[in-house]
Structure 1
Amino acid sequence: MHKNSLAFLRSLFFHFITLLVLFCGSILPDNIDGQMQQAGSYYRNGEFDKAIEIYEDLRSQGYEGTSLYFNLGNAYYRIGKIGYAILNYERALKISPTDDDVKHNLAFANLSTVDRIQPLPTFFLFEWWETLLASFSVNGWTYLAYFFFILLLILVVIYFFAKTVFQQKLILFSGLAALVILLITVSLLIVKINREQTLISGVVIEQSITVKTSPDPQSTDAFVIHEGLKVNLEDRLDEWIKIRLADGKVGWVENKAVEKI
């Protein structure tokens, strides 16, 4: 029993260190923090183009973060580039799905778009599932899975040191509940990862696009969409991308007209 307890404690320590490393990795280096502050200063002074230049430079270096995309979206909105504003709000929301400020600004920016697409009706259980899935990002579901995994390990360790039958039963039921939630969380994490790999979305960044029936500029015009509309990206052929709207309409546009979220 003593050896098993030590093994559990070692495992618990390992996962604690893993979470600590993940947390430390989220702290901004001084140079990035300085650039973010400089961009913020430009934004407050109304120099939105200069702020955008710094934010885009950080993004080109591989830095990503909710604050970066949120501030970049705000700057683009201020200069009237609704498509790029919505694009960056969507990127921020992808990282932090529960951020109220991001959701508010995205909804506000969407009021400036031309297209009003009515999505296809779905069964309420599917809507509930999608809402649950969208509650956290991949990182969020990962942290949640770690939390319940560590909680389960702690409960197992405590179980071996419980002094009464009542305590053992209480810990056992708590452990079973933690296990069930852990399995559900891991399942949602797997679905979320698979969804992000297979379901790719983008935003229209040109003011107006004539969508074609095939990847050919001489093909028949299908319909017209406008800046800021969110679409699904389904296929790519040379310089063309196949898109699908929320109402089920499908067509082809040049890839320069749409940018991936």
Structure 2
Amino acid sequence: MGILAIAAMLAFVILYILFYFSNYSTRKRWTFIGSLLALFVSLVAIVFAYIQQSDFNAWQPAIIFAEESVIKSEPNTAGQQLFILHSGTKVNVLDELEQWNKIQLTDGKTGWANKEDLRLLKDF
């Protein structure tokens, strides 16, 4: 999306320069319309690139490295045990709180895991 935004902005600049230096009214009209379309495409591409970047930053994949990790309902040792994950399970980290990470599985289950039990893939 970023490349499209840059290309559309470059087309906008070129078409606007052509509009400015054109002597004929039909050419002025078409270059002006083209420059406005290029500007619109550029702005839409920038918005989509921003959304894509936000989604990429929100996704924090991690792998469970502990042989067995107990997933709790709260970020403390007194929390209720929801389920157990084994080594090699891929999760998404949603939030962090002290030594706990809020995780989500691919099936939508969420819970709190000890930070020592998993490693973020972005750290490698």
Instruction: Please tell me the TM-score bracket, short chain as reference.
Output: 0.7 to 0.9
Determine the structure 2 residue equivalent to 1:221: 81
Structure 2 residue ranges without an equivalent (≥5): none
- Measure how far apart 1:237 and its partner are: 1.9
Determine the structure 2 residue equivalent to 1:176: 36
Distance in 2 (CA, whole Å) between partners of 1:191 and 1:217 is 37
- What pairs with 1:1-261 in structure 2 (closer than 5 Å)? 141-197=1-57, 199-206=58-65, 208-226=68-86, 227-231=88-92, 233-256=93-116, 257-261=118-122
Distance 1:173 1:228, change over 3 A: farther
Distance in 1 (CA, whole Å) between partners of 2:28 and 2:51 is 34
Instruction: Return the letter of the residue paired with 2:90.
Output: L
SS at match of 1:225: strand
SS at match of 2:40: helix
Aligned residues: CA RMSD: 2.4
Asked whether the equivalents of residues 62 and 119 of structure 2 are also in contact (C-alpha less than 8 Å), the reply is yes
Distance 1:166 1:225, change over 3 A: farther
Asked whether the equivalents of residues 151 and 178 of structure 1 are also in contact (C-alpha less than 8 Å), the reply is yes
Larger helix share, 1 or 2: 1
- Measure how far apart 1:151 and its partner are: 1.5
Determine the structure 2 residue equivalent to 1:118: none
Per-residue CA shift, 1:163-208, capped at 9, x if unaligned?
43332222222212211111101212332344445x2422214254
Q: Which runs of 4+ in 1 moved over 4 A?
A: none
Instruction: Return the letter of the residue paired with 1:203.
Output: A
Larger strand share, 1 or 2: 2
Distance in 1 (CA, whole Å) between partners of 2:8 and 2:69 is 47
Instruction: Return the letter of the residue paired with 2:47.
Output: S
- Measure how far apart 1:216 and its partner are: 2.8
- TM-score w.r.t. length of structure 2: 0.75
Distance 1:162 1:230, change over 3 A: farther
- TM-score w.r.t. length of structure 1: 0.40
Asked whether the equivalents of residues 241 and 253 of structure 1 are also in contact (C-alpha less than 8 Å), the reply is yes
Structure 1 residue ranges without an equivalent (≥5): 1-140
Instruction: Return the letter of the residue paired with 1:259.
Output: L
Distance in 1 (CA, whole Å) between partners of 2:100 and 2:12 is 49
